[in-house]
Amino acid sequence: MPNQEMLLIPGPTPVVDEIYEALAQETYAHTDPRLVKRFKNSLDMLKRLFNTKGEAFIVAGSGTLSMEMAIVNTVAPGEKLLVISHGFFGDRFIPVAQAHGIQVEVLQPEWGQHIEISAVEEKLAQGGYKAVTVTHVDTSTGVISNLEKLVPAVKKHGVLFILDGVCASAAVEEDMSKEYGHPDYTIDLVLTGSQKAIGVPPGLAIVAFGPKALKAREAMDKVAAYYMDILRWLPTMQDPGKYYATHPVNMIYALEKGMEIVMAEGLEARYKRHASLGRAVRAGLAEYGMKALAAEEVAAPTLSCILYPEGVNDAEFRSKLAAKGMVIAGSLAALAGKAFRIGHMGNVTEEMFVKAMELVGETLTEMGFKADTAKAVETFKTVYRLGLAE
């Protein structure tokens, strides 16, 4: 097992030994040719992951930094941004944009639901928007956005499409060269972090700018940022040996290893594994009377927000599981105490989730609830294997 603990929160996710070994290697100078080579290799793999004709950026920071980098470099103060929010992380774009004097409009359905495409069309028909943000998987609700519908609805209006992939990248397709029904209907920008489905410890902000997003930045002249300005970073990303700010050297080793693992598995196989795992985890937990907040058609491959059956105490349930070595997360805002969140992404295995099913059953039994553990494990395995064989 990779981690001693089963870290099944929505990120950071379990880190495998090969990545820990990469992290523990000797720290080179941030301009050393050996580091430069590994940096370039990491950038190349990220560009393949996102299939972008633009540029990728790797900067020390968390996913939130990558959100702010995306906004600062595409939307100027006073310009209009439409935020399509499926939960807590979608909403985070509001204060980020407001901090930069951007005018923000928001579309937010009830938690667990999808936004109506007609509402998006209506908003954009008013005109004047520079960009739209969409959170691929909202980590508060476990809802995955429907890119097949959203990309055309947004791009029809010539507006930039910004995708927050923090809880999806490397587990769900995010192909920036894919044409969603028309050559102009493509994702313009994907932002992400290292610690979720990529499976590397937290610490890296990753952003991929497609050609239109790069043009938007070039057309903006100055931006009110220094560390976040992608034009200042660009020469360094083209030649990582050029100093701009010190690279997080050991985290680059870790990212290179993490991306090698992603590429060795193969993107199609990795996407299928996550889709199957998500369905299987929800089906297994349903045997305990635990239902996902999101309907299966809108539920994410990477994490689930699971409602407690009547009477199960959140704090007690999670602390009992933690004592057995399985860590899950509580829920946010109105769902706090009423649901838990379980991550099922990154470098995780079938065995880990068989164990997770068993520990949940054991814990429910200890708390005085009926739980058919054997049935939950069986359902999990059956659904998972059927998914993989599809």
Ligand X SMILES: *Cc1c(COP(=O)(O)O)cnc(C)c1O
Give me the residues that bind ligand X (CB under 6 A), please: 11, 62-64, 67, 89, 135, 139, 164, 166-167, 193, 202
Cβ pair 137, 164 in contact under 8 A: no
Nearest-CB residue to ligand X? 63
341 is in an annotated binding site: yes
**Residue 81: helix, strand or coil by DSSP?**
strand
Cβ pair 78, 98 in contact under 8 A: no
The least CB distance from residue 195 to ligand X, in Å, is 6
The least CB distance from residue 51 to ligand X, in Å, is 20
In the complex with ligand X, which residue's Cβ is closer, 89 or 288? 89
194, 113, 344, 320 alpha-carbon torsion, rounded to 10°: 110
In the complex with ligand X, which residue's Cβ is closer, 262 or 303? 303
The least CB distance from residue 139 to ligand X, in Å, is 3
In the complex with ligand X, which residue's Cβ is closer, 36 or 208? 208
Q: Which string of b and e fits 294-312 if b means at least 16 CB within 10 Å?
A: beeebbbbbbbbbbbeeeb
The least CB distance from residue 123 to ligand X, in Å, is 21
**Assigned token pair, 185:** 């209907």
In the complex with ligand X, which residue's Cβ is closer, 52 or 85? 85
The least CB distance from residue 33 to ligand X, in Å, is 30
In the complex with ligand X, which residue's Cβ is closer, 174 or 287? 174
**Assigned token pair, 205:** 């902000």
Angle, helices 350-366 vs 373-389, to 10°: value is 160
Q: HSE, CB side, 13 Å, CA atoms: give it for residue 347.
A: 26
Annotated binding site for substrate: 341
Annotated binding site: 341
